Structure 1
């Protein structure tokens, strides 16, 4: 039995190590797709049309290139905000304080009869059995707040963890969940725009007419169209899922609150940043304990 357990633990460790090593490759893959897309859309097709084509062709090219670059800036801004932002860590030696009202509902042991309320609060805050909302992470060897979960890939507990995303080489949690949603949103808009803009060239690839492009340009256009179409469809499903989760006050793991994700200032909802007021006042950006649905409060995930 020990050998089996050791083998399983070793395999999990190797899997997590492989995912961590894969992170840098995924960043290069994202930048590679962006580079190929930029070459196909700007350098190959619509860039030369701005100055080398007629008035109508130049107007169409400008109508593609302006939103393309705007969405690309927002996509990369959101992406690196997710990559570089700490999703939220448990402060060292964190302890929870149980309300006095909740102490009365906690069953006393024989050694606790006659103890003052302050000592009961201290013992309650350190007991998983007394309060099911207070949990202890054996791997981090520390207590963790409600809605906090351990990530085996990152090797630490993450506040209000949603999931670990290999594409961003980071966990998606309390402090970068908004940035992740914006990354999905702008990725969907950008890939959809690229797919539609390259669709006429993709159709022309299968026609019997004269082709003026070189084989390399044709291959780049074909690859870019297929990649962006695939990303648009896959990101659409993922984005729809997360929109439904946020609208239903849930995240991938457990309940969440919509305003705690995007903030209270609507001007900042569609950029990967928070207003100064939200940074000062939002509990999701300041604390370690987050509101959750009453029916999910006592559940362990």
Structure 2
């Protein structure tokens, strides 16, 4: 088991290096093709400046979001955590692995038999990380980290900026790719870098992939659901954490609009929205927990 986990982690770091390599050849291809246009004058200079400016802005946001996902702890159960229930009733509950009831849909106390401790709502054990993750969505090999309560927003922004950046690369390299694919035709700029074709193809694949994942997670955010919880919802028509699209969105991105597109939160949001801490989640008052 330990060997498999080690291989999984090593494969994840290889994937990170692969992404950085694709990013490097993409950057080289766009800059090499449009860099000379900066001194050409006229519309060519304006086009080159616009594309290169957008490329660098999106690249900064992409890398910022990506490494925020990689290096931000998704959140784990604090030592000695106890649920906010009636203390007298809680003291009478048995705390053995076999007697403590599980919960996610019925509001009862949840217990992890692997970590041997109580768990907050929407918390799941990750067998790759070997610990319980707050509001775990999934373990992502591409970031060598779990995606959970504290870095889920960063993961969504990574997908968003990845789609924008790869789409920009595809559109900017499309004329050069067509020129390379057409016999006897050459673009107006002298010489096309050898990285143009592989950069175009790899970014096209990444753009389509990131768009698919982005659409999937937008739908999950709209219903305040994680990837793991999506399977639980198939067994019931009611979902106690679906508070409406606006509140669902704020539980991931916060209320401060200035931070919506940044991999960060304002101090005010962190203090006012308990869901951003990953331990407490408001539920729909119209749903009786016994009916779920």
- Answer whether TM exceeds 0.5 for this pair: yes
In the alignment, which of 253, 271, 277 is matched to residue 262 of structure 1? 253
Q: Secondary structure at the match of 2:121?
A: coil
Between the aligned partners of 2:142 and 2:51, the Cα distance in structure 1 is 27
- Give me the whole-angstrom Cα distance separating, in 2, the residues matched to 1:225 and 1:125: 60
Q: How far 1:168 sits from its partner (Å)?
A: 1.0
Name which of 54, 66, 71 aligns with 1:79: 66
Superposed CA deviations along residues 1-27 of structure 1, whole A, max 9, x for unmatched, are: xxxxxxxxx4xx443322112222122
Task: State how many pairs are aligned.
Answer: 266
Q: Which has the larger radius of gyration?
A: 1
For 1:200, the equivalent position in structure 2 comes to 175
Range that drifts further, 182-191 or 14-23: 14-23
- Cα separation, 1, equivalents of 2:268 and 2:36: 45
- The answer for the alignment partner of 2:191 in structure 1 is 213
CA contact (8 A) 1:128 1:136 kept: yes
Q: How far is the alpha carbon of 1:299 from its aligned partner? A: 11
The alignment yields a C-alpha RMSD, in angstroms, of 2.4
Tell me the distance in 2 between the aligned counterparts of 1:189 and 1:225: 14
Match of residue 128 from structure 1: 100
Match of 1:230 among 202, 205, 214: 205
Q: 1:46 to 1:130 in 2, by over 3 A?
A: closer
- 2:158 is the counterpart of 1:183: yes
Distance, in Å, in 2 between the alignment partners of 1:230 and 1:48 is 27
- SS of corresponding position for 1:259: helix
Partner of 1:248 in structure 2? 223
Which residue of 2 is the match for residue 95 of structure 1?
82
Structure 1: 5+ residue stretches without partners: 1-9, 100-117
Larger mean Cα displacement after TM superposition, 15-24 or 289-298: 289-298
Q: Deviations over 1:50-83 (max 9, x none)?
A: 12x2322111111211111111110001001111
How far the C-alpha of 1:291 sits from its partner, in A, is 3.2
Per-residue deviation, 1:213: 2.3
